[in-house]
Amino acid sequence: MNIRKISLILIISLIAICIVSCNTRDANSKETSVCKCNECISFFVATDIHYLAPELTDKGEAFQKFMRYGDGKQLNYIDEIVEAFIYDIKVKKPDILIISGDLTNNGEKESHIELAKKLKRIEKAGTSVYVIPGNHDLKNPWARSFKGNENFKVDTITKRDFVKIYGDFGYDEAISRDKGSLSYLASPTKHLWILMLDTTKYKDNMILGFPETCGYLSEETFEWIEECSNMAKKENAKLIAVMHHSLLDHCQIITKGFTLENNSTAVEVFQNCDIDLVLTGHIHIQDISTYEKDEKSIYDIATSALCVYPQQYGVLNYSLKNGYDYNTCRVDIENWANKKGIQDENLLNFKSYSKEAFMEQSYHNFYDKLLQMGKYTDEEMQKISKTLAMLNLNYYSGVKNTNVDEIKNTEGYKLLKKASPSLLKDYGIHMLCEKKTDNNKLHIPNHQK
C-alpha cells in the first residue's frame, strides 16, 4: 500500500473518530452537568411560572384590570422573577431544573419562545432542564397581549410546536416517548430516572373557548409507564414522576380540576412500578400529601407557583445512601436586584412588596365573594376578608399551622365559624390546620419496607 493510500485512510479514520466523538458528546451533553459518581443528584423544582413575554404588555389599563381580577400571580414582575431565579440557579448550580407545567400565562407563542431562550441560558450555565406542559400551555384560546385599555388575541401553540420549542429541554434526549401524549422518560443518571408525564387535556380547548382545567392519564400512557418501569428495573434505576396535576388531594374542599381524574388508577400503577415520589404543581399551594398501602408509601409534593407569593421553588437532593431530601427556597429577588443596580423599590424590597400585594389581592377576592352572598354588613365583610387573606397567605406558603391561636381569636374567624354552610366557609376552616406538619420539608429513605 503506497503512502498516499495510507495517508488517505488515516485522514478518513480521523474524520470518522471526530464525527463519532461529536455525536457522542451531543447525545450525552446533559450528563456532563450531573454528578459524576451517579450516586447523588440535585434538583430545583419549579412550577406554574405563567411567564408573559414583556413584548405582550405595556402594563396599561387592560393589563392592570387583568391583574386586578386574577388569582395573585405577580405578572407585572414575572420577567424579573424569572431572571432572579436564573441568577439563583447560576449561583447554586443544581444538576437539574424540573418545571412541571404552566410555563406561560395563557399559552402565548411568543411567551413560549422567550422562556425557551431563558432556559437555554440555564443549560449553558451547566444545569439540565426538563419541562412538561400544563393546562395553560397548549391550544389556549385565552392567549392575549395587552395594550392601552384593550387586549388582543395572539398566536398560541400546538403539541408539535411545544416539542419543537422545548426540544432541548427533555424531548430530544428522551430515552422513551409516549406516542399519545407529550410524556417522556429521561435518564439523567444511572440510578435515577425521571418520568415526565403530560396530564393535560387540550384537544377541545378551541371548541370550548377556554383551556380545560382537568387532567388525566390514558390507558395507553399507563401501559407506557409500565414499560418504562420495566426498563428502569432492568437497569436497577429508581423512577420518580413529574406531572402538572395532583396525584393526591391537596385541598379536600377543592379537588375537581386539580386532582387527576383517574388518580386511583394512577396510584395503583405507580405503586406497582415502585414510584414513591411524584412532583406536581397546578394548585399553586405548597403541600405534601401521602398515600400508604401494604407498607408502601407514595408522596405527592405540590410545589407552590413561582409567580405567586412567596415565589419559592423546591430543592430536591437524592443519593443512593440517604434517599430523598426536599425543602423549599425563595427566589432571592432582592439580592438579584441589588447586584443588577436596579432602582425599583418594589424589587429591592420584594418580600414585603409581594406579601402585601398577595394579601391585598386575596382580601378583594374574598370581599367580592362575600358581597355576592349578600349576608353580611360591610364591617363584617372587611373582618372576614382580612382573616381569610391571612389564612390564604399561610396556605399558599405551606405554613398553614402557624399563628393558629392568633387567627382563631380574630373577629373575622369567629364570624366565619358562626356563618351558615358555604364553600367559602369550608375553605376558610380548611386553611387553618393545627397539625404539626411541615409542607416545606420532607425526607424519604431510599429503602422502604
Whole-number Å distance between alpha carbons of 111 and 56 = 8
How far, in Å, are 111, 139, 143, 153, 201 from residue 204 at the CA level?
Answer: 22, 9, 15, 18, 8
Name the CATH topology of 346-431. Answer: Serum Albumin; Chain A, Domain 1 (1.10.246)
Q: What is the pLDDT of residue 436?
A: 72
pTM for the model: 0.90
What is the per-residue pLDDT for 447?
A: 64
Q: Which fold is adopted by the domain 40-336?
A: Purple Acid Phosphatase; chain A, domain 2 (3.60.21)
Q: What is the pLDDT of residue 434?
A: 63
Phi, psi of 300 (to 5 degrees): -110, 110
Locate the domains of the chain by residue range: 40-336, 346-431
Q: Which residues touch 66 (CB under 8 Å, ≥6 apart)? A: 75, 144, 146, 151
Identify the pLDDT of residue 446.
Answer: 82
Q: Return the closest-CA partner of residue 79 out of 347, 316, 409.
A: 347
pLDDT in tens, the chain (449 residues): 443 333 433 333 333 333 333 333 333 345 434 544 457 899 999 999 999 999 999 999 999 999 998 889 999 999 999 999 999 999 999 999 999 999 999 999 999 999 999 999 999 999 999 999 999 999 999 999 999 999 999 999 999 999 999 999 999 999 999 999 999 999 999 999 999 999 999 999 999 999 999 999 999 999 999 999 999 999 999 999 999 999 999 988 888 899 999 999 999 999 999 999 999 999 999 999 999 988 889 999 999 999 999 999 999 999 988 999 999 999 999 999 999 999 999 999 999 999 999 999 999 999 999 999 999 999 999 999 999 999 999 999 999 888 888 999 999 999 999 988 898 999 988 888 767 788 999 999 986 44
Q: What are phi and psi of 347, to 5 degrees?
A: -75, -35
423-431 helix and 411-418 helix, angle to the nearest 10 degrees: 130
**Residue keyed to cell 408539535:** 160
